């Protein structure tokens, strides 16, 4: 995979997705170091702008997802437990648990903006990472890693850090995308491969990792969460406890490699860049709506890499002011007013492209021929 990243991004611009022939785990063989990823999440967190990010619970679909997770947790963990959400983002899950009666709630996140949002909501929060947890976060009754492990460079070290912070009888909740069900989703090709995702799990690999790290499963489930229209996102989740005795050696995985390989082949079959090649060859000035993961893949893997961009726009305020595709990222309203009359707006949004096309038309810019790159 190759990605076009924002200027001065600390993340690697390419990696290979590999499957270990010994154990069967699947992951990105990235050249990035721990410090690179920690800097990225501290400075460029996609979750810092609660108005557009998932995890805050402000969007209706996001609120439904978060409430479903908090209901699953509250059915299995006492509301008296002290809860630490590591990688909590804007804190939507903690706030949902508070509605369900949990009172001892705290969050840790690399982003100072996310920490400030939690504190403004009356929650305890610290800036930190799994590799550098605050001293105050100890004797936890429940630690939450919700869509965190897929971003972690050293998962064994991460789970060891969690174990050290659990109190007697403490529990760990883990949720990740389910790689066994990447295929046949209505997302754009290679949606589940982006510059931030390192590890690819399914229920079996998550259970194997837990066993190798001294945890035992207490409950587990596979689910599909609706995130936009009819788009459902496959997840696997587990509630884990510290193993009380020695665990039998977990068997090597046999199916995950095949599932991810099938996803790669399906994504290749669905990839068709003919229209984008013609657009890039036309020489017309292009404006890019979207500076996120899908735009990174398009400019890294498609003919758009050679196109001439005159503007890049994104509603995420965390991206505004950065430089992407050689242009400063601005708010759409600002960029659209300054476009040359023959410009084409290329919409690189994996989830909301149709809504953005409609928005372009409502703003009276049909003359700029918005193109949905999905």
Same-domain check for residues 35 and 161? yes
**Phi-psi bin for 107: left (phi > 0), alpha (psi -120 to 50), beta?**
beta
Any domain includes 9? no
pLDDT band at 21 (very low <50, low <70, confident <90, very high): confident
Structural domain tally of the chain?
Answer: 2
For residues 5 and 323, give the distance between their C-alpha atoms in angstroms, rounded to a whole number. Answer: 9
Q: Which pTM was predicted?
A: 0.92
Any domain includes 221? yes
Same-domain check for residues 179 and 324? no
Q: Could you read off the pLDDT of 246-287 as tens digits, one per residue?
A: 555 566 677 899 999 999 999 999 998 998 999 889 888 999
Lowest mean pLDDT among 114-118, 142-146, 154-158, 370-374: 370-374
Any domain includes 327? yes
Same-domain check for residues 261 and 290? no
Strand-pair partners of 222 = 236
Edge-to-edge order in the sheet of strand 309-313:
323-324, 327-330, 309-313, 286-289, 344-347, 371-372
Q: Taking all residues of the chain, what is their mean pLDDT, rounded to a whole number?
A: 90
Strand-pair partners of 329 = 312
Any domain includes 7? no
CATH of the domain at 203: 3.40.50.150
Any domain includes 11? no
Same-domain check for residues 186 and 327? no
Listed residue (150, 176, 194, 149) closest to 11, CA to CA: 194
Any domain includes 96? yes
Same-domain check for residues 217 and 98? yes
Same-domain check for residues 308 and 230? no
Same-domain check for residues 68 and 97? yes
Listed residues 227, 249, 267: the one ending a domain: 267
Any domain includes 363? yes
Same-domain check for residues 77 and 136? yes
Any domain includes 218? yes
Same-domain check for residues 238 and 357? no
Mean pLDDT of 25-37: 96
Listed residues 249, 267, 285: the one ending a domain: 267
Given a cut of 90, whether residue 225 has pLDDT beyond it is no
DSSP string, 5-32: --TT--S-SB-EEEE-TTT--EEEE---
Listed residues 267, 293, 322: the one ending a domain: 267
Query: Which domain, by its residues, includes 255?
Result: 16-267
Given a cut of 80, whether residue 16 has pLDDT beyond it is yes
């Amino acid at each position: 995979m190759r990605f076009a990243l924002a200027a001065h991004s600390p993340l690697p611009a390419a990696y290979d997705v590999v499957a270990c022939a010994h154990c069967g785990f699947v992951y990105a063989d990235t050249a990035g170091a721990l410090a690179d990823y920690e800097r990225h999440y501290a400075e460029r967190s996609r979750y810092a702008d609660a108005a557009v990010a998932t995890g805050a619970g402000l969007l209706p679909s996001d609120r439904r997802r978060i409430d479903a997770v908090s209901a699953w947790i509250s059915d299995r963990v006492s509301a008296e437990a002290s809860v630490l959400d590591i990688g909590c983002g804007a804190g939507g899950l903690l706030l949902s648990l508070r509605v369900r009666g949990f009172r001892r709630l705290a969050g840790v996140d690399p982003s100072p903006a996310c920490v400030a949002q939690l504190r403004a909501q009356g929650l305890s929060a610290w800036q930190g990472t799994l590799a550098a947890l605050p001293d105050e976060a100890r004797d936890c009754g429940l630690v939450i890693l919700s869509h965190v492990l897929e971003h972690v460079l050293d998962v064994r070290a991460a789970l060891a850090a969690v174990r050290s912070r659990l109190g007697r009888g403490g529990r760990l909740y883990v949720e990740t995308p389910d790689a066994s069900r990447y295929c046949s989703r209505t997302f754009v090709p290679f949606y589940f491969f982006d510059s931030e995702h390192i590890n690819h799990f399914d229920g079996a690999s998550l259970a194997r990792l837990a066993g190798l790290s001294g945890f035992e499963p207490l409950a587990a489930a596979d689910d599909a969460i609706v995130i936009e229209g009819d788009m459902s996102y496959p997840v696997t989740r587990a509630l884990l406890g510290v193993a009380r005795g020695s665990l039998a050696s977990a068997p090597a995985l046999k199916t995950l490699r095949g599932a991810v390989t099938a996803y790669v082949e399906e994504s290749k079959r669905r990839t068709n860049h003919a229209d984008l090649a013609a657009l890039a060859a036309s020489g017309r000035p292009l404006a890019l709506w979207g500076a996120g993961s899908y735009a990174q893949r398009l400019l890294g893997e498609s003919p758009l890499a050679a196109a001439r961009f005159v503007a890049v726009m994104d509603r995420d305020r965390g991206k505004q002011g950065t430089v992407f595709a050689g242009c400063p990222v601005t708010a759409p309203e600002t960029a659209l007013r300054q476009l040359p009359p023959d410009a084409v707006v290329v919409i690189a949004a994996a989830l909301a492209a149709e809504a953005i096309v409609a928005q372009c038309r409502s703003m009276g810019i049909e003359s700029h021929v918005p193109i949905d790159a999905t």
